[in-house]
Amino acid sequence: MIRVEQSHLPVAALTHPGMAGKKNEDRYAVTAYHLSEENATPALLAVLSDGIGGHRAGEVAAEIAVNQISENLAASDGRLPLASLRESVQAASQGILTHARSDARLQGMGATCAVAWIIGRRLYTATVGDSRIYLVRGQNILQLSTDHTWIQEALDSGLLQPEQVQNHPNAHVIRRFLGSPTPPDVDVRMRLLGGESDTQAEANQGLPLMPDDVLLLCSDGLTDVVTAGEIYSTLRALPIERAAQTLVDLACSRNGSDNITVIAIQVPENFAARQSEPRGSVDVHATRPLPREPFDSGPVKPRRASPVRRVLRALLIVLLAAMITTVLLIGSWLIGERRLPSPTPRATAPAVTLPATQAVPGLNATLPPASQPAVPQISATPGVAASPQPGGATLTPWPTNTPGGYPAP
């Protein structure tokens, strides 16, 4: 890291303890530098932390968070920004917890954080708690971060409606904070469109900043009493130094009781279309206009999928179902038409009835007296009848083998 005296983007930051006479437990830091001596890519790091714990030294927790996150990220080469963000915020949380355990008077302290890291022209963010990050682009204002609060969870689940949020007794109950015994889940989702999945929102990281964009980090002391529409109007109407002061004054004029901190970052109109970027970085974003969201006088509402996207999704499902049904019907018809013919039975040979055994004339006659050897009695061959010889002579069949050889002729 090579610190520079002037950032490549104009910045204005301001904090105020609020109108309730409390000590200011908010802390912030803005650091401008080049990534390294070898890599002159400009970087701007803005870190805001809101201490929690009241008398339990919330400002100490916020101070630790700002210092550790700033030091760890400034030492990074910027090649793996999301991994660096997660590691730095987790290290800060562990640092707060370790410090609290070393002193009984500090036990129970904690802090939120909102981090915006601009490398060249690309924006990376991380949050824990209810400190917010807004992006103003053209006529739009978007809350890039998600509140980790009981209220936001109730809105997401449908337990509460947006009009029920004001003055709710659980309005300041947060679900994640730095210094908790269980390491907090660092939120690197960047919300740009309604209905985005968490994976899609995380893929928005590295968003290219455009000329005339304005980025705002703020604690809940501002958003408790100033609406998103008022933030947009102020940032669009005034230079960022005056805009920051005007937003704080507006919160104080409404008796804002909490600490109020804002960091505003302006992208000038003559901002280069492409700043130098860390070597090895990959451009996975296409520059595209952000959706326009209407302003309202109440808190920022949870995002919902746009009607057009819902209709297109329903039409796609119906079309796929119709295509599948058509394919099945055609397949069934083709199978029925192309059935194989039944096999032709083979011709069988007619049964052959063998004739009954017939007696051959003369075979059973009594042979002459003993001077002639006896001729054994032979049964006729089945199916063969002896034919009478000319002259009435009788054909005597040749005898079969007998023990002792053939008989004499």
Domains by residue range for the chain, with CATH: 2-302 (3.60.40.10)
pLDDT at 389: 42
pLDDT digits (tens, 9 = 90+) for 289-306: 444 444 443 444 444 444
pLDDT digits (tens, 9 = 90+) for 32-74: 999 988 888 999 999 999 999 766 789 999 999 999 999 999 9
pLDDT at 149: 95
pLDDT digits (tens, 9 = 90+) for 357-368: 444 444 344 444
**Are β-strands 42-52 and 11-16 bridged in parallel, bridged antiparallel, or unpaired?**
unpaired
Please give the average per-residue pLDDT across 232-251, as a whole number.
97
pLDDT digits (tens, 9 = 90+) for 180-234: 999 999 999 999 988 899 999 999 999 999 999 999 999 999 999 999 999 999 9
pLDDT digits (tens, 9 = 90+) for 111-160: 999 999 999 999 999 999 999 999 999 999 999 999 999 999 999 899 99
pLDDT at 338: 54
Cα–Cα distance list, 59 to 51, 63, 184 (Å): 5, 6, 19
Main-chain dihedrals φ then ψ at residue 315, nearest 5 degrees: -60, -40
Cα–Cα distance list, 393 to 95, 362, 390 (Å): 135, 10, 6
Check pLDDT > 60 for residue 391: no
Instruction: Report the distance separating Cα 230 and Cα 135, nearest Å.
Output: 14
Amino acid identity of 321?
A
70-79, 85-94, 322-331: range with lowest mean pLDDT? 322-331
